Amino acid sequence: MADAPLVYNMKQILNYINGALQPPESGRFLDNVEPATGQIYSLCPDSDHLDLEAAIKYAQAAQQSWTNTATEKRARILSQIADLIDQNADRLAAAETVDNGKPITFSKAVDIYRAAANIRFFAHAITQFSSESHSMENTAINYTLRDPIGLVGCISPWNFPLYLFTWKIAPALAAGNTVIAKPSELTPMTAYLFSELCIQAGLPAGVLNIIHGRGTTIGAAITTHPAIKAISFTGGSQTGTVIKKATAEQHKKLSLELGGKNPTLVFADCDFNHTVQEVARSAFANQEQICLCGSRIYIEQSIYDHFVNALVDEVEKLNVNDPLLPETHFGALVSEAHMNKVLFYIKLAQEEGGQILTGGHQVHLNGRCRNGFFVEPTLISGLTNQCRTNQEEIFGPVATVQSFKNEEEALTLANDSMFGLACSIWSQDVNRCHRLAKQVEAGIVWVNCWLLRDLRTPFGGTKASGLGREGGQEALRFFTEPKNICIRYG
Ligand code: NAP
């Protein structure tokens, strides 16, 4: 098979500060590696407090004017950015695939499509946003103002680089805030290309500032800077804890979208073939690097063997290959360190008594991807719910199967986790689905579907999976400060 063409030569990524692209003050850059080849292909700014101070100065200078810009004009600029994403979809999808390792078809259909959709959604939503009024019969009237917070920080992870970046930035800007945003140092490319599109769209200078670099330096500096009034963060639960502690004394407003270890509950009365396909997708989409993936699969005992055999067949159809090839289903993991973490958990699962049903190994491809970070989609049985493999977030292509006797046991197993992000339930019994959906400890429950998203709905998790909700009105409420005004009738 012919190698897919290389898309980029070595390229220097730049910060976007005060409407201009510029290198970090220190002149230092980090290597940016293409996961499918293991080769350094671009350089990412290693920004520090000097870049942050400059960005804060310009963001503060831009604040009043952006807040006072008519809502319709803010919406028009955001819509223009969304249109430019659509017009550049092929280029952005290729960049995302090179930077992250995900299949090109996935980048285009999910990441880039959704990045434009996020921005367009909030451009429209802000024109419909309203606040509340509460009448106290003949005594008084309360009305609530919802003004922008001011300068906010948005920090996003590497698994959906542009998609999750825009999911935060769009509501923050729509609501009239200025923003300092940091993408993951592992996947900075599309945020950089996005900054070029913001310039093209005429976003006023200083309104959005994108600073690249390491989480522990520039990320930590953003979260703790007193001029930044709120932090919208998506990433791991441990980092979420660090941010909570670091911001506690400043009482910063926080939205934390954190890790997951999501249960998938398959009942004997499910639509069998459809469920097999969808459970395989929910377990392994994006190399299982989605916080919503169903990595703990529980199957009713009476269909356990039949279902597991069919699931193994389905997983083995996944074509692991160069992510730039259109026929590839399953690409590279984001980094060598992440690949080693996943391989560690596969070994641990075996030490804990698990049997590998399919997968279990690193994949060594030929040609340009011979040094890439590929791991087979791996399905494991024979583990208890309490073992580390079933309790810790792996965030890579490892899913486990277990059986349950009845609905009560299914619910106990599903809730036996420190996480509470998402759950999917597969059954034709509508009463059971309602009962379970209400009792399962998760912020998002899908019934006979997975990853079906309506951008108006609240998005986020309970327990160690997060704090607050994103999406629709929830996001606009997060990025505004409510102030109640009570007026007594004369
Ligand atoms: P991560 O290590 O927590 O990093 C997330 C972001 O925070 C990155 O930009 C990172 O920068 C930065 N960061 C790291 N340490 C920081 C600190 N002390 N202060 C401020 N920022 C800091 O997570 P990840 O490995 O990128 O992403 C995977 C995790 O995200 C998984 O746990 C996954 O479940 C979760 N996730 C959750 C959702 C959700 O909606 N609930 C969605 C997607 C992913 P660097 O990358 O440069 O270090």
Distances from the Cα of 368 to the Cαs of 4, 38, 252, 307, 372, in angstroms? 8, 9, 46, 37, 8
Residue 2 has pLDDT above 60, yes or no: no
Q: Is 157 in the pocket of ligand 1 (CB under 6 A)?
A: yes
- What pLDDT does residue 291 have? 98
Residues 270, 291, 369, 423: which is the catalytic one? 291
Which domains, ranges and CATH numbers included, belong to the chain?
Answer: 11-258+465-485 (3.40.605.10), 263-454 (3.40.309.10)
The number of the ligand 1 atom at minimal distance from the alpha carbon of 223 is 20
Sheet of 11-12: strand order equals 11-12, 39-45, 29-34
d(CA 263, CA 288): 14
Ligand 1 lined by 255 (C-beta under 6 Å)? no
Asked whether the predicted pLDDT for residue 4 surpasses 80, the reply is: no
The pLDDT of residue 329? 95
Residue 125 clears pLDDT 90, i.e. is over it: yes
Q: What are the tens digits of pLDDT across the range 256-302?
A: 999 999 999 999 999 999 999 999 999 999 999 999 999 999 999 99
pLDDT in tens, 442-471: 999 999 999 999 999 999 999 999 999 999
Task: Please indicate whether residue 261, judged by its CB atom, sits closer than 6 Å to ligand 1.
Answer: no
Residue owning the nearest CA to atom 46 of ligand 1: 184
Distance (Å, whole) CA 230 – CA 331? 35
CB of residue 206 inside a 6 A radius of ligand 1: no
**For residues 78 and 123, is the Cβ–Cβ distance under 8 A?**
yes
3-state SS assignment for residue 20: strand
Instruction: Examine the residue annotation and report whether 291 is marked as an active-site residue of this protein.
Output: yes
Taking the model in full, what pTM does it have?
Answer: 0.96
Tens-digit pLDDT profile for residues 191-219 = 999 999 999 999 999 999 999 999 999 99
Q: Which residue has the tokens 């979809």?
A: 89
The answer to whether the CB of 451 is under 6 A from ligand 1 is: no
Q: Is the pLDDT of residue 401 over 90?
A: yes
Pocket test for ligand 1, best of 212, 234, 467, 478 (most atoms within 8 A of CB): 234
Q: What percent of the chain has pLDDT over 70?
A: 98
Cα angle value 118/122/126 (rounded, 5°)? 175
User: Which atom, in ligand 1's list, is nearest to the CA of 238?
Assistant: 3
Cα of 386 to ligand 1 centre, how many Å? 25
* Residue 490 confidence (pLDDT): 85
Tens of pLDDT along 33-53? 999 999 999 999 999 999 999
147 pLDDT higher than 60: yes
Measured from the Cα of 157, ligand 1's closest atom is 26
| Ligand 1 centroid distance, CA of 243 (Å) | 11
Predicted confidence at residue 3, as pLDDT, reads 46
Question: If you average pLDDT over every residue of the chain, what do you get?
Answer: 97
Question: What is the structure's pLDDT at 8?
Answer: 45
pLDDT in tens, 11-36: 999 999 999 999 999 999 999 999 99
List the catalytic residue out of 34, 96, 257, 441.
257
- Cβ of 236 less than 6 Å from ligand 1: yes
pLDDT tens-place string over residues 345-379: 999 999 999 999 999 999 999 999 999 999 999 99
Pocket of ligand 1 contains residue 184 by CB under 6 Å: yes
